[in-house]
C-alpha cells in the first residue's frame, strides 16, 4: 500500500503518463507536411512522422523506439526466433490434434470442436485498406527520399549519403550485417541528438568551412578567368600575325606573276580591246549558184572557183 502511494509510485505514474502522451503526439504527427518537394510534389505523412521521431521532439517516445530497435537487432542476431516460431506452431497444432482425438475417444466429441466458433474471424475490409494505404505511404516515403537525395535537392544531404555509402562499402568487408545495422540505427537516432545539443558550435564551424570553401572557389574562378583571358589574347595575337604573313605571301605571289601576264597580254590582246583578225582567216564566200546533184558543202566549195584556186595554189 505504501509503494502504490509513495513518491516512487507517483514518479512512475507521471513518467508513464508523459510517455503515453508523447506516443500519442507521435502518432498524431502522421499527417502530410505543409511543404513539398523541390518539384512541387506533395510528401507523405511519414515525412512528418520520421521528422518528429528523429528530431527528439518527444524524447521519451524516441528513446523507447531507439531501445526497441537496438534490442530487435540483438534478438535477431542471438535469438533463434524462426526456430522458436516453428516450435510454438508444432506444440500448438500437436496439442490441438491430441485433444481432438482424445475427446472423440472419451467423450465422443473433440475438445477443439466444441470451442469452434460459429464464424471464423476475418480482417475487416476497412482495416485491410487502411493497412495497405499505410504500407503504400511508407514505401513511397523511401522512394521519394531516395530520389531527392539522388537529384541533389539538398546538396548537404547528398554529400552525407555519399559518405555513409562509401564508409559502409568498406565496413561491410569486415563487419557483419547486424553490426552495420546497429551502427546505422545509432547514427540515425544519435546524430540529430548530438547536433541539437551542440547546434551553435556545429553551425559556427559549418559556416566557417563554407566561407573558406567559397573563398577558395572564388580564387580559383578568378585565376581561371585570368588565364583564360591571357590565352584568348595570345591566340588573337598569333592569329593576327599569321593573317598578316599570309597576306604578304599572297601579295608577293601576285606581284611576281603580274609581269608575265602583262607580256602575254601585250602579245595577244589587252582586256577590253578587239582581237586583230585578217581576211585570210575566213573562208571565201561563194559567188555562183549551187551545182545540181551536189549536196556536200565541201563538194560545193571544191567545184567553185575559189576551191579551184585553192587547189591550184596548193599544187
Instruction: Say what the pLDDT of residue 284 is.
Output: 62
| Predicted pLDDT at 289 | 63
Q: Which residue has the higher pLDDT, 188 or 289?
A: 188
Number of H helices, E strands in the chain: 12, 0
Radius of gyration of the chain (CA): 52
Cβ atoms of residues 62 and 53 within 8 Å: yes
pLDDT for 147 equals 94
Q: What is the mean pLDDT of residues 221-231?
A: 87
What's residue 236's pLDDT?
85
Confidence of residue 71 (pLDDT cuts 50, 70, 90): very high
- Phi and psi at residue 288, in whole multiples of 5°? -135, 165
Residues 104-116: tens digit of each pLDDT: 888 888 888 888 8
pTM exceeds cut of 0.75: no
| pLDDT given for residue 4 in this prediction | 62
Averaged pLDDT for residues 110-124: 86
CA 167 to CA 182: how far, in whole Å?
14
Q: What is the mean pLDDT of residues 260-276?
A: 48
**Three cell numbers, residue 248:** 604578304
Express as a percent the part of the chain with pLDDT over 70: 78
Question: Between 31 and 96, whose confidence is greater?
Answer: 96
Cα angle at 195 between 194 and 201, to 5 degrees?
A: 110
Measured between alpha carbons, how far is 2 from 67 in angstroms, rounded to an integer? 31
> Are the beta carbons of 97 and 110 closer than 8 angstroms?
no
Specify whether the CB–CB gap between 307 and 301 falls below 8 A: yes
Task: Please give the pLDDT value at position 67.
Answer: 95
User: What is the reported pLDDT for 248?
Assistant: 81
62 near 56, Cβ under 8 Å?
Answer: yes
Does residue 254 contact residue 262 with C-beta atoms inside 8 Å?
no
pLDDT one-digit tens code per residue, 134-180 = 999 999 999 999 999 999 898 888 999 999 999 999 999 999 999 99
Rounded distance, CA 167 to CA 183, Å?
A: 11
What's residue 251's pLDDT?
75
SS3 content of the chain, % helix, strand, coil (to 5): 75, 0, 25
For residue 164, give every residue at least 6 positions away whose Cβ sits within 8 Å of its Cβ, in sequence order, or none: 184, 187
Tell me the three cell numbers of residue 22.
508523447
Check residues 128 and 300 and name the one with the higher pLDDT.
128
Amino acid at each position: 500500500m505504501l509503494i502504490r502511494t509513495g513518491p516512487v509510485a507517483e514518479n512512475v505514474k507521471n513518467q508513464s503518463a508523459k510517455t503515453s502522451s508523447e506516443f500519442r503526439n507521435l502518432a498524431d504527427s502522421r499527417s502530410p507536411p505543409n511543404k513539398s518537394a523541390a518539384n512541387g510534389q506533395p510528401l507523405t505523412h511519414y515525412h512528418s512522422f520520421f521528422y518528429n521521431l528523429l528530431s527528439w521532439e518527444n524524447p521519451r517516445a524516441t528513446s523507447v523506439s531507439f531501445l526497441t530497435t537496438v534490442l530487435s537487432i540483438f534478438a535477431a542476431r542471438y535469438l533463434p526466433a524462426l526456430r522458436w516460431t516453428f516450435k510454438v506452431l508444432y506444440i500448438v497444432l500437436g496439442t490441438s490434434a491430441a485433444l481432438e482425438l482424445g475427446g472423440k475417444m472419451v467423450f465422443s466429441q473433440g475438445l477443439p470442436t466444441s470451442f469452434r466458433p460459429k464464424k471464423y474471424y476475418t480482417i475487416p475490409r476497412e482495416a485491410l485498406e487502411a493497412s495497405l494505404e499505410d504500407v503504400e505511404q511508407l514505401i513511397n516515403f523511401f522512394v521519394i527520399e531516395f530520389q531527392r537525395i539522388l537529384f541533389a535537392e539538398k546538396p548537404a544531404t547528398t554529400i552525407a549519403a555519399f559518405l555513409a555509402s562509401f564508409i559502409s562499402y568498406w565496413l561491410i568487408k569486415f563487419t557483419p550485417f547486424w553490426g552495420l545495422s546497429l551502427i546505422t540505427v545509432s547514427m540515425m537516432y544519435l546524430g540529430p541528438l548530438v547536433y541539437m545539443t551542440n547546434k551553435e558550435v556545429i553551425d559556427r564551424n559549418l559556416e566557417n568551412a563554407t566561407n573558406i570553401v567559397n573563398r577558395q572557389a572564388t580564387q580559383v574562378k578568378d585565376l581561371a578567368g585570368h588565364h583564360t583571358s591571357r590565352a584568348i589574347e595570345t591566340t588573337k595575337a598569333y592569329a593576327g600575325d599569321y593573317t598578316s604573313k599570309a597576306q604578304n605571301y599572297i601579295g608577293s605571289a601576285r606581284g611576281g606573276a603580274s609581269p608575265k601576264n602583262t607580256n602575254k597580254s601585250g602579245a595577244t590582246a589587252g582586256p577590253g580591246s578587239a582581237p586583230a583578225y585578217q581576211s585570210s582567216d575566213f573562208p571565201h564566200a561563194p559567188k555562183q549558184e549551187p551545182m545540181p546533184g551536189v549536196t556536200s558543202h565541201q563538194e560545193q566549195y571544191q567545184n567553185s572557183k575559189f576551191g579551184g584556186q585553192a587547189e591550184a595554189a596548193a599544187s
